[in-house]
Structure 1
Amino acid sequence: MKKASLILSFILFVLTSFSQTQRWSLTGNEEITWTINEDNIPHADHIEMSGRGISAWLQYEIDAESHAQISRTLVFPAFRTIPNDTHGSLMYTFMDKDLPRFFINHVSLKPTIYNGKFMGDHKGHANKVKLNGSLEIESTLELAIKKSKKDNEPKPDLNAPNEVLLKRKLFPSTDKPLFVEKFTYINNSGKPVLVTMEALHKEIQLDEATTVNGPHRIIESTINDGTYNLQPSDSVVFAVVYYALHAGQSIPKFDLVAEETSRKEKVAAICSELQLITPDSVLNTAFNFAKVRAIESIFDTRGGLMHAPGGLSYYAAIWANDQAEYANPFFAFSGDSVAAKSAMNSFRWFARYMNPEYKPIPSSIIAEGQSYWNGAGDRGDMAMIAYGASRFALAYGNVDSAKVVWPLIEWSLEYLQRQINTEGVVWSKSDELEGRFPAGDANLCTSSLYYEALISASMLGKSLGLPKWQTNAYTNQAKTLRKNIDKYFGSNVEGFDTYRYYKGNTVLRAWICIPLTVGIFERKDATINALFSPRLWTVDGLASQAGDKTFWDRSTLYALRGVLQAGATEKALDYLRYYSNRRLLGEHVPYPVEAYPEGNQRHLSAESALYCRIYTEGLFGIRPTGFNAFDCTPRLPKDWDQMALKHIHAFGNDFNISVKRIDEKLKITITGNDKVALEKIINNGETVSIKL
């Protein structure tokens, strides 16, 4: 009876885990659409989108009457406020009430709320919301029908077309501290219509005492304002722009068409490189969206190009985990030159804090590189930096870049070796969760990252022609550490022969997935079973700790990659599909998120880079081994005939990987410059060493 009950509980768990509603649908490789109807409103969500001078956090809502409302919180990372710390970016929120007034036939469209109810002279109903690198909301405006006052006046034709279509499009500038809100009115009424946008120019000047190098100004201004007589089927475009100016800067003129074109081209360029092609269109599209979020969040700062997480908190600053560990290894594959420059710049920033006493490098460098934050102490940051820098340098395939980052890698590895405790693993004060959950004096994550950093550094050192004694020392240290990781952390936790996260840990933790991502597979079966057990897996992915409601997407993203690397392809694919559908097409879309309840599931950008690495390092099993060499262990799911990654920009080349099923084997083909570099039949799970 007990066994039957356990089986039933597991079946119910699986059904619950993979059952979810989809609010959105795919309408292109780079677009999703929510078609609004009375059954799926009210609904509200938020999304962040960025350019090199601005980040915009948009809260959009469709209420029960299908009226659209938008709140725009604009962040200007290079405009600093006091205190000039992690959060010292200029921010300002604009609501719908701050918009200029719009009129149709001299009747105001300005939405107002009275006694909690929407009031307006024209009835407006939102029909669709689209996300495609911009936020688009399409609404139908029903024109007010003028009633005849006299019996001899003609009666209005109630069946005649009586609508104006409004398309709103919101997007950031690619290279300016500028945000654009475009309004397109299309006359579908069958008769001439007058459409008006009033002119508006609002300027906010911050007090110089609250700014750095101020005073800063924020301006809201209209473009193409005025009254237009639209014939049937005609349209008119208005715009409201929001921008920031430094002290002494004059008001510029903006080209609306050029700004919109630039944003479209930037999104298209990101999606055209490192293309994922699989039979699953949801995975392909989720990959495209994640690439955009990961790469767009790079800002021009006083200290150079800087990738930053975002989320209304983290700009013009870097972290050892978000940038060095999560995003930079992906940027080496992305084909985006700005992303690669930001990665190199982040390593230069960290390198400035190397010192002969081997005091730890700060966890975060903030305020455009002018200061730092180290409030949590050593979180294993040197392991994060050495891991990310060595992986990036190998994959990027540029000798000169590798020479720049090598001293940082070498210093970090020496620091870590000095932190080895009496039981042979790495001491650290905390981990990247900074004390939110216990991590002991030595945690599994830090030692695992150090292990991988030693292996990659040995390969990188050989590629740079460093002495054998040095590269061999790293290899030997890695071998010893691997044994100590199993001895120190290996444990039976809650019935699973997996890992304890720290000494004394008796509750399953999500970060038991980390060894899988660095090729430590001794306990892979029990670890995978523990990760996907009801103790850790929730409707939103992995709980940070068994029995707790808190989740951080980063652990789910690491786990999905690690499970693929460990060869449990079918199981990983089931959970990857579930997760991707939830994040791309569910209730909070379209990117991976940071955490919950902390941060209200912010769309931090480095998590999107981790999502992309599920495919490059997990599904295709790419492991850098030299400047122009890598190992490839493709994991083609059993119900797929083929998959491909096209325009991989890594190892000094632009190349493609194609994997096709040939009976019970796989055919792997590497092409570049219209030439076949390698074509080989392999067994499923076999590793191929490739030199370009």
Structure 2
Amino acid sequence: MIASRLKKIMAYGFLIAFNLLGPAVVNAEIIPTLHPRWTIQQNGIQTSATDQHTDQLEMSGRQVSTIIDYGRDVNGSLNLRRTLVWPMLRTIPDDTHASLIRKFELADSPSIEIDGHVAPKETLRKIRYDGQLTLDSELMRGLSLTRLLSPATDEPALIERLTLTNHTDTVIAYRFDALNKTETTPAQAGTHGSYLIRAFSRASSGSLKSGQSMHVDVLYQAQLVNEMVYVDVNEQLAARRQKLQSWRSRLVLDTPEPVLNQMFEFAKIRAAESIFATRGGLLHAPGGGRYYAAIWANDQAEYANPFFPYLGDASGVEAALNSFRLFAGYMNPTYQPIPSSIIAEGRGFWNGAGDRGDCAMIAYGAGQFALAQGDAALAEQVHPLINWCLEYTRRQRDAAGIVHSDSDELEGRFESGKANLSTNVLAYASLIGAARLSQDPQERSALNEEAQLQRSAINRYFAANVGGFDTYRYYDGNTKLRAWIALPLVFGMEERKAGTVAALLSPQLWSLNGVLSEAESNTYWDRATLYGFRGLMKVGELEQVMPYFRYYSGMRLTGEHVPYAIEAWPEGNQRQLSAESALYARVIVEGLFGIEPVGLRSFNIAPRLPKAWPHMALTNIRAFGAGFVDGQVSESGLDISTTRIKQQRQHVQVRLHGKLIVDRDWDGHAMINVILPE
């Protein structure tokens, strides 16, 4: 299904519907025009269903994740499949993929009669997504059926509300049959015995005058066979809307480009919703139909956890702390590696790829999370884990100062040698973060010195001409450009900036779907593309990267597979994993606005305006303790805004709870240091 969408993408390209693209000149073969299928509406996107097309999206609540395949077939009829995942209803063997999963087809809906006759197939007319999926269909002339699909916020259920509306001038009679499909799983197949799976709704009949509507609620749910579960549909739908509004109201992006604003808003939703109430506590999970009730050193520790302080989502912060607590449980006096993933609600682990540089990932992520959260007591909680991971990493260094690992986050999909660039750059970044977190001047100095030695070793060992560019080799013997050459830029390593920038944006690496994992391959992982965007913005190459970033954002938000960043292709068929959305949000926070934590209450910013923009702002930032006043949660936070005053100069303002604390002109070069009052 998704492969066919890719053929469409490559067949006709895309037209980005922006009015303020600016004068940047780009290679049209590298960045084609974007013909959006979707348009932006208030808080969401919408499309008219006029041709054969199918897509898929994921939505999550505390006890369920739902993957909805939807669209229109060649005859115009509605296609719908609901795949439900219950992460805490574990199957045997209790491994990474042991969540209970069931699929419910369109036929698993209540039968409908109109005026005593079986209703015809639904003709799909319009689709809207705003955190809840709405499918508008026509049953017959003047009679519409709308399906609203939404995960229950707190219960193990998908809610589907069917609303029938009479647009004719006559009275119609309707009947919805009761739906009661049940399954009881074998006790020996579940870690907690038998599970009861249900699809059910009540019967309803009556008449509708012109202009009148009625609705029937369908629940798709699962539970322990002896468990009492009651879903108050109105309460759960309201709770979902309230949660969506909470995410929208915090960490708000304001730019002249609606596509970037909306893509950022959706990224917050997908990053924050994929948190599950497991027996090991709240845990963030990638999702995608495969990865639940489990954490990874890259997805959670490195990608998602550092984002949650900026959003100020209490569940995200708690899930981050839980993940670090679980990783810390594997610290040991002989410095055997911490597992790459802790699975099954914290009861097991996976280390099938050996040491992927996981301690470098964890130490970096924990340091950035603690700094951004701005809480000294919380920083003390994660400090022992950071120190242990730093010491583990030191013990993997060779005489040349290079850190060895068995693989990297791609786990052997591409060659990574005995020592790879990714692990070593993250080791460098983890030292910088630990130094900034330290309250001991002597320790801070030692960590900074160690970081500089690590940086020098990286430049000696990995510097190379690859593919005709003076950039980095990924490992000893590497002869093809790799996507992760972007990582040094992310952390301000500019020694080989010119060649690396050129390589990342060259046809050898840049494809219609972002940066290829390796030159001459057809494989792409969005995580590498998003790190690339962030790195290019970090080192001041905003005008070069913005056309690519616009194109990518437009494609993911309004193209053929929407509305989130994805995992990879061809592996996984572009699953909408949650942590990739966190990485998208971090492109804006840490790339476009250049926010870089340097202390618990201090940070640097570099909010460079694209040339065509007169203004941009990021408001209600919750990081660095800004979400609290006198220990209580505050509705306001930290606001950063910048306005163009001359061609090369901007006026930057920073406010804390409405009070102006930075008010200055800026030339767009040296970062601005901000220290928040205690």
Structure 1 range deviating more: 225-234 or 82-91: 225-234
Q: For residue 390 of structure 1, what is the aligned residue in structure 2?
A: 367
Q: Quick one: which amino acid aligns to residue 416 of structure 1?
A: T
Matched, 1:241 2:214: no
Q: Quick one: which amino acid aligns to residue 246 of structure 1?
A: L
Out of 501, 516, 521, the position equivalent to 2:489 is 516
Matched, 1:284 2:243: no
Q: Quick one: which amino acid aligns to residue 667 of structure 2?
A: N
Q: How far off is 1:275 after superposition?
A: 0.3
Q: Quick one: which amino acid aligns to residue 271 of structure 1?
A: R
Q: Distance in 2 between matches of 1:264 and 1:227?
A: 29
Out of 660, 669, 673, the position equivalent to 1:689 is 673
Q: Distance in 2 between matches of 1:444 and 1:344?
A: 28
Q: For residue 82 of structure 2, what is the aligned residue in structure 1?
A: 72
Q: Quick one: which amino acid aligns to residue 687 of structure 1?
A: M
Q: How far off is 1:15 after superposition?
A: 3.6
Q: For residue 170 of structure 2, what is the aligned residue in structure 1?
A: 191
Q: For residue 12 of structure 2, what is the aligned residue in structure 1?
A: none
Q: For residue 657 of structure 1, what is the aligned residue in structure 2?
A: 640
Q: How far off is 1:186 after superposition?
A: 0.6
Q: How far off is 1:16 after superposition?
A: 4.9
Residues 669-688 of structure 1: pairs in structure 2 closer than 5 A: 669-688=653-672
Out of 309, 333, 349, the position equivalent to 2:310 is 333
Residues 448-467 of structure 1: pairs in structure 2 closer than 5 A: 448-462=425-439, 466=440
Q: Distance in 2 between matches of 1:381 and 1:550?
A: 23
TM-score (normalizing by structure 1): 0.91
Instruction: Describe the superposition over 1:229-255 as per-residue Cα deviations: whole angstroms up to 9, x where unpaired.
Output: 101100001111011111421352x32
Q: Distance in 1 between matches of 2:422 and 2:369?
A: 19
Q: For residue 33 of structure 1, what is the aligned residue in structure 2?
A: 46
Instruction: Describe the superposition over 1:358-388 as per-residue Cα deviations: whole angstroms up to 9, x where unpaired.
Output: 0110000000000000000000000000000
Matched, 1:641 2:624: no
Q: Quick one: which amino acid aligns to residue 127 of structure 1?
A: R
Which runs of structure 1 show a deviation greater than 3 angstroms over 4 or more consecutive aligned residues?
none
Q: For residue 23 of structure 1, what is the aligned residue in structure 2?
A: 37
Q: For residue 104 of structure 2, what is the aligned residue in structure 1?
A: 94
Aligned length: 641
Q: Distance in 1 between matches of 2:583 and 2:504?
A: 18
Out of 378, 383, 408, the position equivalent to 1:431 is 408
SS at match of 2:622: strand
| Residues 271, 288 of structure 1: 8 Å contact kept | yes
Residues 131-280 of structure 1: pairs in structure 2 closer than 5 A: 131-142=129-140, 162-223=141-202, 225-252=203-230, 254-280=231-257
Q: For residue 349 of structure 1, what is the aligned residue in structure 2?
A: 326
Matched, 1:82 2:65: no
Q: For residue 28 of structure 2, what is the aligned residue in structure 1?
A: 14
Q: Quick one: which amino acid aligns to residue 24 of structure 1?
A: W
SS at match of 2:113: strand
SS at match of 1:47: strand
CA 1:684/1:510 → structure 2, altered by over 3 Å: closer, same or farther?
Answer: same
Q: For residue 151 of structure 1, what is the aligned residue in structure 2?
A: none
Instruction: Describe the superposition over 1:609-629 as per-residue Cα deviations: whole angstroms up to 9, x where unpaired.
Output: 000000110000000011110
Matched, 1:323 2:306: no
| Residues 298, 308 of structure 1: 8 Å contact kept | yes
Instruction: Describe the superposition over 1:597-652 as per-residue Cα deviations: whole angstroms up to 9, x where unpaired.
Output: 00000000000000000011000000001111001111111111111000000000
Q: Which runs of 5+ in 2 are unaligned?
A: 1-24, 627-636
Q: Distance in 2 between matches of 1:502 and 1:678?
A: 44
Q: Which runs of 5+ in 1 are unaligned?
A: 1-10, 110-121, 143-161
| Residues 196, 228 of structure 1: 8 Å contact kept | yes
Quote the sequence identity (%): 46
SS at match of 1:17: coil
Q: Distance in 1 between matches of 2:658 and 2:533?
A: 33
| Residues 634, 685 of structure 1: 8 Å contact kept | no
Structure 1 range deviating more: 309-318 or 660-669: 660-669
Q: Distance in 2 between matches of 1:294 and 1:228?
A: 43
Matched, 1:104 2:88: no
Residues 600-611 of structure 1: pairs in structure 2 closer than 5 A: 600-611=573-584
Q: Distance in 1 between matches of 2:560 and 2:316?
A: 30
Q: How far off is 1:470 after superposition?
A: 2.1
Q: Quick one: which amino acid aligns to residue 194 of structure 1?
A: A
Q: For residue 625 of structure 1, what is the aligned residue in structure 2?
A: 598
CA 1:13/1:569 → structure 2, altered by over 3 Å: closer, same or farther?
Answer: closer
Q: Quick one: which amino acid aligns to residue 645 of structure 2?
A: I
SS at match of 1:354: coil
| Residues 286, 584 of structure 1: 8 Å contact kept | yes
Q: Quick one: which amino acid aligns to residue 488 of structure 1?
A: Y
Q: For residue 146 of structure 1, what is the aligned residue in structure 2?
A: none
Out of 569, 573, 578, the position equivalent to 2:542 is 569
Q: Distance in 1 between matches of 2:116 and 2:400?
A: 79
Q: How far off is 1:21 after superposition?
A: 2.3
| Residues 30, 510 of structure 2: 8 Å contact kept | no
Q: Distance in 1 between matches of 2:31 and 2:673?
A: 38
TM-score (normalizing by structure 2): 0.93
Instruction: Describe the superposition over 1:478-530 as per-residue Cα deviations: whole angstroms up to 9, x where unpaired.
Output: 01011110110010111100000011101000110000011101111110110
Q: How far off is 1:685 after superposition?
A: 2.4
Q: Distance in 1 between matches of 2:603 and 2:194?
A: 51
Q: Distance in 2 between matches of 1:305 and 1:257?
A: 25
| Residues 213, 247 of structure 1: 8 Å contact kept | no
| Residues 393, 405 of structure 1: 8 Å contact kept | yes
| Residues 294, 605 of structure 1: 8 Å contact kept | yes
| Residues 104, 195 of structure 1: 8 Å contact kept | yes
Q: Distance in 2 between matches of 1:565 and 1:333?
A: 18
SS at match of 2:28: helix
Q: Distance in 2 between matches of 1:31 and 1:394?
A: 32
Residues 107-118 of structure 1: pairs in structure 2 closer than 5 A: 107-109=117-119
Q: CA RMSD in A?
A: 1.2
Q: Distance in 2 between matches of 1:80 and 1:643?
A: 46
SS at match of 2:584: helix
Q: Distance in 1 between matches of 2:139 and 2:99?
A: 38
Q: Quick one: which amino acid aligns to residue 117 of structure 2?
A: V
Q: Distance in 1 between matches of 2:516 and 2:499?
A: 17
| Residues 13, 534 of structure 1: 8 Å contact kept | no
Q: Distance in 1 between matches of 2:494 and 2:90?
A: 47
SS at match of 2:438: helix
